[in-house]
Structure 1
Amino acid sequence: MSSEEWIETTTGNRISKLAQIYGSNSISINDHSTVNSYVLLQGDVPLLQQDESQTHTIKLGKYTYIGSNCQVIPPVLKKTHHGPIRIGSFTIIGADSIIKSASIGNRVLIEPNCTLLDLSIIYDCCLIRKGTIIPSKMIIPPFSEVKGVPGVDFEIKELNSSYKKIIELEAKNLHYLG
């Protein structure tokens, strides 16, 4: 990774110069997060209810890693209005994923090519396997492993509690080692 390809902030964030970030004033990125090339952060959408407490359309926790070609778009609430999206700390989003969830917890690993549809909620310490589609408004409980496509082979299993530390370490490694 050469410095010509990245913007590095004083809080340790690394953002690819090839990322597409719209509405940057409405996006909060906490310390040590990475936004890779060709990521779309769509922060310029109208919120359904906007008050002083809802100033950000997209909020990323610390050590969040977003893989190449991902789209992070706040969930649609009503035709042209959106709700905010919150992505917790130590969360990894694999390449080519589409994220429209209302909330993703801490220590979540989303493998490549996943789609999380409008208003879905992923609680803490979850593993979303490659190619999985999470339907709109679905709630995934903590410590879950999810895989498949609804109506075809969708499955939710319990995830071993040791993944809590494993996902956190992987998020830190991705930030520091790429």
Structure 2
Amino acid sequence: MEDPPIYYDKAEYIETDTGNKVSRKSVICGSQNIVLGGKTVIQKECIIRGDLRRTGPGHTVVVAIGRYCLLSQRCVIRPPYKTYKGVLNYYPMKIADHVTIGEDSVIEAAQVGSYVEIGKNCVIGRFAIIKDCSRILDGSVVAPNTVIPSFSVYAGNPAQLVDELPESTQELLESSTKEFYYERFLPQHVTSR
């Protein structure tokens, strides 16, 4: 049995030339400092902070998001920061391909690898690194500067290793983000009366 389509109101989303679908009800600050790889879905009430960046020349891309990513409702993406000699500095954040971020999650990681699932209500601390093919379960809090290894499942507060993922994780998450979500995320056809 085939999964049913996920319909959205076409008037609520902007579709870019590269197939990104961005809700008009999301908040994108500093869009000139944000790069979307293509075929990424940003749902309503998401906040992406591209306006928080280091001062000075040569620091333009603050948030880079890869292809086939899903940013669920109300998630917050903001670059990590630290204070050095009394000056607050923000650093770039990279989210790779085929990443799913659940509703109400807050991400301040330095890097999120490809084929990663972050559950609902998660907090990913500043400068955390999440390697490829890993999963963070709902409600988890990843401490700042934590490195999550590939093929691992983390859960809890603070998040700890609770399981390992099979080698097929990459293929499963790739098909999940492409066929099970992006290709089923379709504009709702409104019939005129």
Q: TM-score range by the shorter chain?
A: over 0.9
Give the number of the structure whose alpha-carbon radius of gyration is greater: 2
Q: How many residues align?
A: 174
Aligned partner of residue 165 in structure 1, secondary structure:
helix
What corresponds to 1:32 in structure 2? 39
Residues of 2 paired with 1:174 and 1:66: CA distance?
Answer: 12
Task: From 164, 170, 178, give the equivalent of 2:170.
Answer: 164
Q: CA deviation at 1:80?
A: 2.1
Q: Secondary structure at the match of 2:175?
A: helix
Q: 2:4 is matched with which residue?
A: none
Q: Distance in 1 between matches of 2:28 and 2:90?
A: 17
**Aligned-residue offset at 1:158:** 2.1
Superposed counterparts of 1:76-155, under 5 Å: 76-78=81-83, 80-150=88-158, 154-155=160-161
TM, length-normalised to structure 2: 0.86
> Structure 1 vs Structure 2: percent identity of aligned residues?
29
Residue of structure 2 in register with 1:8 after alignment:
15
Q: CA deviation at 1:32?
A: 0.4
Unaligned runs of 5+ in 2: 1-7, 186-193
Residue of structure 1 equivalent to 2:191: none
Aligned with residue 71 of structure 1, among 68, 76, 87: 76
Q: How far off its partner does 1:155 sit?
A: 2.9
Superposition RMSD in Å: 1.5
Take 2:121 and 2:18, find their aligned partners in 1: how far apart are those partners? 29
- Structure number having the greater strand percentage: 2
Structure 2 residue matching 1:80: 3-state secondary structure: strand
In 1, the alpha carbon distance for the partners of 2:163 and 2:64 equals 28
CA shift for structure 1 position 60:
0.3
Report SS of the residue matched to 2:67: coil
Q: CA shift at 1:157, angstroms? A: 2.9
